[in-house]
């Protein structure tokens, strides 16, 4: 039977199943196939914090959403067009997000009375009329997989386990995905277990063949490759991009990377990744706690290394005293906060942007710290390079803000040319920098560079520059302990002026205002970049005029920020918190921005946000 092929411009697929069903792997593989095919894409993994929540229950549902298109897209999408539900729990947990007319591919084998009851279905929704608004494809995925693997010498359990590959094969057929990558992947993954490897490959192919032969699917879909800027691409998640960024920063600064961290979701993957790159001379240290993590990193910085610690919000709270010390002793230090929903343990696998004020003010005393925020998964690479540039040039701890969505989400990344990477070369102090009254040359550890106000970085082992630093207030210049009131006033102001001065060293805030006559500005920071961009596009397509800007530096703000804000009648600030950037903007610029705030642990929905922007545009017009 020759099946019909339909051209579409974009699709959002969500794979959902039990934590043990391998949905993240399935999603990853589909993503790789899609990337290799040349679509633009964006992903949103969503999984419980529990490693194996009880099977078949709602808390145990794990999902992976992928949005891919023939044009550039900015978000993993609000509402899936296709839901693959491996069990009743997966259906129940996700059905509310599906628009009418969406396809539901359900694994009927798992829709047993027991499993249905477990999640509160009295009747089988696949059989009653409750899903009449959707296109339901009931398919016995498990039993077909087992049947396909009859001839393999594997247990029934192992055969059943391959059902995710069957599903992947089927979806790959449905969307014309290339399959070589997945087959190569399975060959690699199960290299030491050839039987399991062959079974998985067979299940994958069986799924593909089933798609082709079944009458369940009369149409298959084609999404043409997107016209992205030329270059070599790969798919990358935020945490991976961040880890690579650190390795590159270490190379181009000439500083050895010392990562000291305590495991915490969703930051641990950075520790895992960097631990694999010892050949770059990377030292990774799993500390006894968060405080030791930042302490050891600061110790490495004192020794002339690139000291880095990675964590999430609760860890930042614990590290805060040491960050204050780093501010006081003016040493470079990188602190990465992969934000998650708080307070306290909150929702460790869900995203939020609610640590901005913690990053800004969460220390004792006047302790300003530059803040750099990444805006997309691949942007974590550039953001961390910028954090390292500021930390080493200004001898200061820098807070890098990412979040759970960026950390785990992925997108295609145009791999930079090696010689286009920034030069972050650092010079240590090697000579005396002061002469005392009787002409003796001396080293003054707090003698500042007149332009940057940075102090010299004199590392142990350098003869003649022996000096002591510490958390006690230091006299300007020679750096000995000082309790002098005027000196303290001066030092507090100098430390502040040093950080404020960074504003001169960062690009101005760029505004995207196509016709230059919008009256509403949407201003964001961090991972809301994608949803804001998608929402702004949508609003513009409806004919409304709206400007968009996004902050990379949250402290200090770019010098033109106030001027940009004043240019517009209304400034809307969407955030995944209760208005933290809004508060800073109001305080700093006396402009009453409007907040759009959601704290659902998920990225903002572009459609909802578009509605909110439209409302603001409409009311600005009247």
Partner 1 sequence: MTETANTNQPFAGLELVPRTDAKQTAKDFKSDQEVRWCPGCGDYAILAAFQNFLPELGVPRENLVIISGIGCAARFPYYMDTYGFHSIHGRAPAIATGLAASRPDLSVWVVTGDGDGLSIGGNHLIHALRRNVNIKILLFNNRIYGLTKGQYSPTSERGKITSSTPVGSLDYPFNPISLALGAGATFVARTIDSDRKHFTEVVRAATDHNGAAFVEIYQNCPIYNDDAFEPLKSPQSRDDRLVRLRHGEPIRYGAEEEKGLRLGKYGGLEECAGDDEGVVVHDASVEDPSYAFALSRLDNEEFTHTPIGVFRAAPRTTYDQLMREQIEEVTRKQGEGDLETLLTSGDTWRIT
Counting residues that bind partner 1 (by CB under 8 A) gives 71
Q: Closest distance between partner 1 and the C-beta of residue 306, in Å? A: 10
Using CB under 8 A as the binding rule, whether residue 30 contacts partner 1 is answered as: no
With b for 16 or more beta-carbon neighbours within 10 A and e for fewer, the 47-82 pattern comes to: bbeeeebeebbbebbbbbbbbbbbeebbbbbbbbbb
- Please identify which residue in 48, 80, 238, 295 interacts with partner 1, judged by CB under 8 A: 295
385/454 Cα distance (integer angstroms): 19
Q: Closest distance between partner 1 and the C-beta of residue 431, in Å? A: 13
Q: Which is nearer to partner 1, 283 or 597 (CB)?
A: 283
Using CB under 8 A as the binding rule, whether residue 472 contacts partner 1 is answered as: yes
Using CB under 8 A as the binding rule, whether residue 364 contacts partner 1 is answered as: no
Using CB under 8 A as the binding rule, whether residue 279 contacts partner 1 is answered as: yes
Question: Residue 295: what are its φ and ψ, rounded to 5°?
Answer: -65, -50
Q: Which two tokens stand for residue 283?
A: 């030292």
Q: Closest distance between partner 1 and the C-beta of residue 528, in Å? A: 27
Please name the residues in contact with 475: beta carbons below 8 A apart, sequence gap of 6 or more: 446, 481, 482, 484, 487
- For 228, other C-beta atoms within 10 Å of its C-beta total 14
- Please identify which residue in 128, 466, 489, 618 interacts with partner 1, judged by CB under 8 A: 466
- For 134, other C-beta atoms within 10 Å of its C-beta total 17
Q: Closest distance between partner 1 and the C-beta of residue 429, in Å? A: 12
- Please identify which residue in 101, 439, 450, 463 interacts with partner 1, judged by CB under 8 A: 463
Residues 297-316 that bind partner 1 (CB under 8 A): 297-305, 307
Using CB under 8 A as the binding rule, whether residue 465 contacts partner 1 is answered as: yes
Q: Which two tokens stand for residue 113?
A: 């009375």
The DSSP bridge pattern shows strands 553-555 and 547-551 to be: unpaired
Residues 208-227 that bind partner 1 (CB under 8 A): 225
Q: Closest distance between partner 1 and the C-beta of residue 433, in Å? A: 16
Sign of CA dihedral 547, 553, 557, 559: negative
Using CB under 8 A as the binding rule, whether residue 247 contacts partner 1 is answered as: yes
Q: Closest distance between partner 1 and the C-beta of residue 495, in Å? A: 17
Using CB under 8 A as the binding rule, whether residue 160 contacts partner 1 is answered as: no
Q: Which two tokens stand for residue 300?
A: 């490495």
Q: Which is nearer to partner 1, 16 or 66 (CB)?
A: 66
- Please identify which residue in 10, 277, 537, 545 interacts with partner 1, judged by CB under 8 A: 277
- Please identify which residue in 235, 312, 378, 392 interacts with partner 1, judged by CB under 8 A: 235
Using CB under 8 A as the binding rule, whether residue 288 contacts partner 1 is answered as: yes
- Please identify which residue in 105, 202, 292, 602 interacts with partner 1, judged by CB under 8 A: 292
Q: Which is nearer to partner 1, 132 or 418 (CB)?
A: 418
Please name the residues in contact with 117: beta carbons below 8 A apart, sequence gap of 6 or more: none
Please name the residues in contact with 95: beta carbons below 8 A apart, sequence gap of 6 or more: 83, 104
- Please identify which residue in 343, 460, 507, 508 interacts with partner 1, judged by CB under 8 A: 460
Q: Which two tokens stand for residue 233?
A: 């691409």
- What x/- string results for residues 318 through 337 when contact with partner 1 is judged by CB under 8 A? ---xx-xx---x--------
Using CB under 8 A as the binding rule, whether residue 183 contacts partner 1 is answered as: no
140/331 Cα distance (integer angstroms): 61
Q: Closest distance between partner 1 and the C-beta of residue 550, in Å? A: 25
The burial of 421, by beta-carbon neighbours within 10 Å (0-12 exposed, 13-18 middle, 19 or more buried), is given as: middle
250/343 Cα distance (integer angstroms): 33
Q: Which two tokens stand for residue 561?
A: 């920020």
Q: Which is nearer to partner 1, 352 or 411 (CB)?
A: 411
Using CB under 8 A as the binding rule, whether residue 317 contacts partner 1 is answered as: no
Using CB under 8 A as the binding rule, whether residue 281 contacts partner 1 is answered as: yes
- What x/- string results for residues 392 through 431 when contact with partner 1 is judged by CB under 8 A? -----------------------xx-x--x----------
* Nearest alpha carbon to residue 259 among 302, 293, 303, 304: 293
- For 540, other C-beta atoms within 10 Å of its C-beta total 18
């Amino acid at each position: 039977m020759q099946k019909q092929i339909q051209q579409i411009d974009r699709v959002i697929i969500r794979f959902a199943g039990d934590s043990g069903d391998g949905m993240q792997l399935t999603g990853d593989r589909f993503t790789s196939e899609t990337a290799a095919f040349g679509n633009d894409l964006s992903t949103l993994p969503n999984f419980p914090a529990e490693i194996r929540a009880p099977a078949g229950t709602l808390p145990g549902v794990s999902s992976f959403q992928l949005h891919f298109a023939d044009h550039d897209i900015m978000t993993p999408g609000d509402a899936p067009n296709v839901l693959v539900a491996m069990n009743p729990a997966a259906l129940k947990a996700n059905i509310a997000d599906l628009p009418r007319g969406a396809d539901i591919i359900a694994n009927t084998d798992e829709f047993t009375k027991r499993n249905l009851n477990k999640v509160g279905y009295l009747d089988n929704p696949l059989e009653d009329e409750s899903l009449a608004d959707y296109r339901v494809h009931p398919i016995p995925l498990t039993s077909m997989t087992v049947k396909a693997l009859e001839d393999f010498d594997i247990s029934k359990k192992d055969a059943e386990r391959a059902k995710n590959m069957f599903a992947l094969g089927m979806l790959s057929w449905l969307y014309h995905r290339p399959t070589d990558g997945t087959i190569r992947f399975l060959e690699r993954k199960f290299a030491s277990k050839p039987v399991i490897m062959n079974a998985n490959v067979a299940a994958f192919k069986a799924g593909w063949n089933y798609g082709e032969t079944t009458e369940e699917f009369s149409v298959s879909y084609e999404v043409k490759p997107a016209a992205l800027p030329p270059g070599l691409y790969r798919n990358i998640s935020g945490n991976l991009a961040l880890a690579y960024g650190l390795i590159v920063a270490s190379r181009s600064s000439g500083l050895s990377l010392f990562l000291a961290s305590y495991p915490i979701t969703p930051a641990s993957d950075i520790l895992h990744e960097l631990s694999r790159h010892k050949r770059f001379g990377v030292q990774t240290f799993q500390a006894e706690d968060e405080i030791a993590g930042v302490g050891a990193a600061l110790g490495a910085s004192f020794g002339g290394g690139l000291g880095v610690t990675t964590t999430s919000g609760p860890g930042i709270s614990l590290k805060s005293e040491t960050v204050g010390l780093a501010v006081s002793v003016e040493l470079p230090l990188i602190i990465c906060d992969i934000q998650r929903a708080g307070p306290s343990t909150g929702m460790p696998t869900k995203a939020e942007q609610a640590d901005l004020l913690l990053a800004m003010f969460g220390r004792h005393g006047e302790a300003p710290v530059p803040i750099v925020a990444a805006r997309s998964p691949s942007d974590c690479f550039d953001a961390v390079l910028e954090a390292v540039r500021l930390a080493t040039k200004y001898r200061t701890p820098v807070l890098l803000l990412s979040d759970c969505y960026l950390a785990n989400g992925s997108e295609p990344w145009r791999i930079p040319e090696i010689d286009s990477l920034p030069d972050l070369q650092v010079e240590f102090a090697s000579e005396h920098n002061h002469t005392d009254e009787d002409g003796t040359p001396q080293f003054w550890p707090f003698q500042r560079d007149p332009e940057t106000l940075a102090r010299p970085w004199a590392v142990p082992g350098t003869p003649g520059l022996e000096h002591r630093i510490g958390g006690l207030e230091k006299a300007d210049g020679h750096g000995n302990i000082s309790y002098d009131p005027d000196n303290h006033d001066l030092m507090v102001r100098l430390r502040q002026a040093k950080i404020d001065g960074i504003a001169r060293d960062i690009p101005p805030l760029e505004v995207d205002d196509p016709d230059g006559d919008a009256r509403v500005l949407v201003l964001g920071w961090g991972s809301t970049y994608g949803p804001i961009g998608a929402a702004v596009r949508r609003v513009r397509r409806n004919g409304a005029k709206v400007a968009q800007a996004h902050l990379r530096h949250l402290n200090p703000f770019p010098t033109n920020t106030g001027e940009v804000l004043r240019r517009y009648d209304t400034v809307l600030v969407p955030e995944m918190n209760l208005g933290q950037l809004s508060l800073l903007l109001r305080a700093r610029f006396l402009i009453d921005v409007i907040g759009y705030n959601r704290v659902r642990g998920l990225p903002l929905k572009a459609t909802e946000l578009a509605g909110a922007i439209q409302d603001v545009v409409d009311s600005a017009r009247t």
